[in-house]
């Protein structure tokens, strides 16, 4: 180095450069490059899982989150539209910038857009309402965009109907039963019912089964309007002209493209006739505002509605039918339309065939600031954090996939088609993590398969809460614990997965363990034009702090599951949870079936066997991991997944691989070979969306739904199928036998 400096100094005076000097310059450059590389190597080598997580946690940022949301909500982007394609390209560009292998996957699916919608209410005095009234409030900067789609129901048929009206409360099965008890004839009538309590498609299905001619659904102010508080633009609740758009596809039978039930809607896929698809309603339906529903309800005659059916409009609700009639004109534009999923991968370095998948949908009915862009924003910030790690040379042990789904609003289409296309690959999926309406307030909520509940809780302990302390502490104090097992342990409540978002296909069809996270608050503009950036900045997560909290939970799930040496499932608690489902079902069977109720003893024995096998494999994992006796494996794996100290030992590495394959196969062993009765696409023995509710979960659905239909024979048959599934899952766990010295 001294000789080089001497030559450099000499060259300043001689203005000559010798070959010897050039060789020295070349040598010193190589030396400097080597020295520059040393800190990176020395810094990377000792990095712990904790330090990696701290690097990740430092990345999500409110400024970036706000920019994502501003971009993704800048124009309406309903599935299949040019605005939707732009959002796909934006998300794909970001994934690529952050170092992920990224592709836009196209499907061609059967969907409708509205061409003409009109609703007129007529009495003997003439027309009392001509709608739909345009969604409008004073001062909203987004409501007048000509690309805003008029309120409509996806998968409604076209129709011209004129009929008397009957008010049916929430349109639940029990509401239709009550109308029947009261002697109200529904044949040929238009059913007027309010949003809430169940999926809108169930309301239409029940009306169709009752022989109705059509359905109108409105949002009553008692549920999300002025009864709850100030309406937009003064407060967060639905103004009188706000309308909830939404799909009425019978997704509780089969989600996804109704013309490809059970296989993917690739461009050249075989199709069933849309008119014969059981997933598409046969009677027309459309949504309206409470501004337009009010004159119809006020003009209804007939008996007073049951008092618990009374909403918040300032008059007494009656049931009808008549004397008011409604003339409903719907013209739908149906076609096969392109949708675009965006799939980003970070290949695994140890187990590349094992997948950890995170997804959020991107399409919206209009702007969708809360639903779904707050979730997409959280996913993007989580991906940016993991991308930062990738750029430092870090690699996950399993392959990480981030998925931006399309056409969720029409019926979980983008995720369902992808799952149906990748069923074989998903046999090696460790988990699916979902976020939808990501952050609209300070109240963290989560749902999960029982095997991942403690995993989620441990992650919450590592995430700071904007109000101070940890998310775990804030979560524990903010939610009432209704689950008996969770309350007994004084744990934050983790709910049960039903449907209504993109985890459905992963869990209920393919048997992939799943979670769904969100941060909730006062939100009254669901699926309306007012769910836009203006509303979000006033009443949502105004500083984007809860968006970051959700992003950190979401990303830590990916990091810990992607790098876990032992997959952090708890099948012991899972088995115990199933035992509580059996207790409830046995009581229900005694009530509905009396002495025809079958014995639950074999199923109970199988659930106990499953729980015991879960405890045994937990002990086996303890032994493999050299964890001291009494140490909580689930907590330790969740906190610091790379705790296995003997992976250099070939036998231990082989045991570890067999253990993880066993753990992954267990949830899939709970799938029913023939699926559920009457809806075989849903194959999970323990969970499905409730048959005639749609969003909420039905536990041990084959058994419970047979009981509710008073079908003793099917109840016995489904108990037998459940018993076989539980014994299958227990046998999978019991099959793990570590190789000994």
**Using one digit for the tens of pLDDT, what is the confidence trace for 491-527?**
899 999 988 999 999 999 999 999 999 999 999 999 9
Q: How far apart are CA 602 and CA 727, in angstroms?
A: 10
- The pLDDT of residue 199 is 95
Return the bridge partners of 216, or none. Answer: 192, 286
pLDDT mean over 730-736: 96
Q: Which of 66, 408, 409, 721 is catalytic?
A: 408
pLDDT mean over 602-624: 92
The answer to whether residue 200 scores a pLDDT higher than 70 is yes
Q: How far apart are CA 105 and CA 256, in angstroms?
A: 15
pLDDT mean over 607-633: 75
- The pLDDT of residue 29 is 39
Least-confidence region, from 357-366, 485-494, 590-599: 485-494
Query: Are 638 and 568 contacting, i.e. CB atoms less than 8 angstroms apart?
Result: yes
- The pLDDT of residue 426 is 97
- The pLDDT of residue 638 is 41
User: What's the maximum distance between 2 C-alpha atoms anywhere in the chain?
Assistant: 112
pLDDT mean over 322-334: 97
- Superfamily of the domain at 571-734: Transferrin receptor-like, dimerisation domain (1.20.930.40)
Confidence of residue 635 (pLDDT cuts 50, 70, 90): very low
For residue 332, give the nearest of 616, 548, 117, 136 by alpha carbon: 117
Domain boundaries, the chain: 2-46, 110-335, 450-495, 571-734
- The pLDDT of residue 622 is 74
- The pLDDT of residue 534 is 98
Q: How far apart are CA 441 and CA 520, in angstroms?
A: 5
- Phi first, then psi, for residue 19 (nearest 5°) are -55, -40
Q: How far apart are CA 182 and CA 265, in angstroms?
A: 45
Region for 378 from its dihedrals, namely left if φ exceeds 0, alpha if ψ lies in -120 to 50, beta otherwise = alpha
Helix (H, G, I), strand (E, B) or coil at 302: coil
- The pLDDT of residue 656 is 86
Q: How far apart are CA 444 and CA 672, in angstroms?
A: 33
pLDDT mean over 178-203: 97
- The pLDDT of residue 483 is 67
- The pLDDT of residue 691 is 81
- The pLDDT of residue 694 is 64
Catalytic status, residue 174: no
- The pLDDT of residue 15 is 36
The answer to whether residue 28 scores a pLDDT higher than 50 is no
| Tens of pLDDT, residues 650-693 | 556 778 889 999 999 999 999 999 999 999 999 999 999 988 87
Fold annotation for 110-335? Glucose Oxidase; domain 1 (3.50.30)
Same fold across 110-335 and 571-734: no
């Amino acid at each position: 180095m001294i000789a080089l400096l001497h030559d450099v100094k000499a060259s300043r005076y001689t203005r000559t450069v010798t070959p010897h000097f050039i060789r020295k310059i070349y040598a010193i450059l190589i030396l400097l490059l080597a020295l520059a590389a040393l800190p990176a190597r020395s810094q990377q080598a000792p990095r712990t899982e904790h330090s990696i997580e701290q690097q990740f946690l430092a990345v999500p940022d409110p400024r970036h989150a706000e920019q994502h949301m501003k971009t993704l909500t800048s124009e309406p982007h309903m599935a299949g539209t040019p605005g939707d394609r732009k959002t796909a390209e934006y998300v794909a560009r970001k994934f690529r910038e952050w170092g992920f292998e990224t592709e836009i996957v196209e499907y061609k699916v059967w969907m409708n857009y509205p061409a003409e919608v009109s609703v007129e209410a007529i009495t003997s005095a003439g027309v009392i309402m001509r709608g739909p009234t345009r969604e409008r409030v004073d001062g909203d900067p987004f409501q007048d965009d000509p690309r805003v789609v008029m309120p409509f129901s996806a998968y409604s048929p076209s129709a011209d109907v004129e009929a008397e009206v009957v008010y049916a409360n929430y349109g639940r099965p029990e509401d239709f039963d009550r109308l029947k008890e009261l002697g109200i004839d529904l044949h040929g009538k238009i059913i007027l019912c309010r949003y809430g309590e169940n999926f809108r498609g169930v309301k239409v299905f029940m009306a169709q089964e009752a022989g109705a001619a059509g359905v109108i659904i409105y949002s009553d102010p008692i549920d999300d309007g002025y009864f709850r508080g100030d309406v937009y633009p003064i407060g967060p609740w639905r103004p009188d002209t706000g309308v909830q758009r939404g799909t009425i596809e019978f997704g509780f039978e089969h989600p996804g493209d109704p013309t490809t039930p059970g296989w993917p809607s690739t461009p050249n896929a075989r199709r069933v006739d849309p008119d014969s698809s059981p997933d598409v309603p046969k009677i027309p339906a459309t949504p309206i505002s409470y501004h337009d529903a009010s004159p119809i309800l006020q003009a209804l005659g007939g008996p007073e509605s049951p008092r618990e059916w009374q909403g918040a409009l300032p008059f007494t609700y009656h049931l009808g039918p008549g004397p008011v009639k409604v003339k409903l004109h719907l013209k739908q534009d149906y076609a096969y339309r392109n949708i675009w999923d965006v799939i980003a991968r970070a290949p695994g370095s140890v187990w590349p065939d094992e997948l950890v998948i995170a997804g959020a949908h991107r399409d919206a009915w209009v702007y969708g600031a809360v639903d779904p862009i707050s979730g997409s924003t959280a996913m993007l910030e989580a991906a940016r954090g993991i991308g930062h790690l990738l750029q430092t040379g870090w690699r996950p042990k399993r392959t990480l996939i981030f998925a931006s789904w399309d056409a969720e609003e029409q019926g979980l289409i983008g995720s369902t088609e992808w799952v149906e296309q990748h069923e074989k690959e998903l046999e090696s999926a460790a988990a699916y993590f979902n976020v939808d309406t990501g952050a609209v307030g300070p109240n963290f909520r989560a749902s999960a398969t029982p095997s991942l509940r403690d995993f989620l809780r441990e992650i919450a302990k590592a995430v700071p809460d904007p109000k101070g302390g940890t998310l775990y502490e804030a979560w524990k104090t903010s939610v009432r614990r209704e689950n008996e097992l969770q309350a007994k342990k004084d744990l934050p409540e983790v709910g049960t997965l039903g449907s209504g978002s993109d985890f459905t296909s992963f869990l209920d069809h393919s048997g992939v363990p799943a979670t769904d996270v969100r941060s909730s608050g006062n939100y009254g503009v669901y699926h309306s034009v007012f769910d836009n950036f203006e509303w979000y900045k006033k009443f949502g997560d105004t500083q984007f702090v809860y968006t970051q909290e959700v992003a950190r939970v979401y990303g830590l799930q990916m990091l810990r599951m992607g790098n876990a040496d032992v997959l952090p499932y708890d099948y012991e608690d899972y088995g115990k949870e199933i035992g509580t489902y059996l207790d409830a079902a046995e009581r229900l069977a005694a009530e509905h079936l009396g002495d025809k109720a079958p014995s639950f003893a074999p199923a109970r024995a199988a659930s106990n066997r499953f729980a015991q096998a879960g405890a045994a494999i937990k002990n086996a994992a303890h032994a493999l991991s050299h964890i001291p006796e009494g140490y909580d494996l689930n907590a330790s794996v969740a906190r610091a997944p790379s705790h296995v100290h003997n992976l250099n030992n070939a036998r231990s590495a082989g045991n570890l691989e067999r253990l993880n394959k066993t753990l992954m196969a267990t949830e899939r062993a709970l799938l029913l070979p023939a699926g559920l009765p009457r809806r075989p696409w849903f194959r999970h023995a323990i969970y499905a969306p409730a048959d005639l509710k749609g969003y909420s979960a039905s536990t041990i659905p084959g058994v419970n739904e047979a009981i509710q239909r008073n079908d003793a024979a099917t109840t016995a048959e489904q108990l037998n199928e459940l018993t076989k599934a539980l014994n299958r899952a227990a046998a999978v766990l019991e099959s793990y036998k570590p190789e000994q010295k």
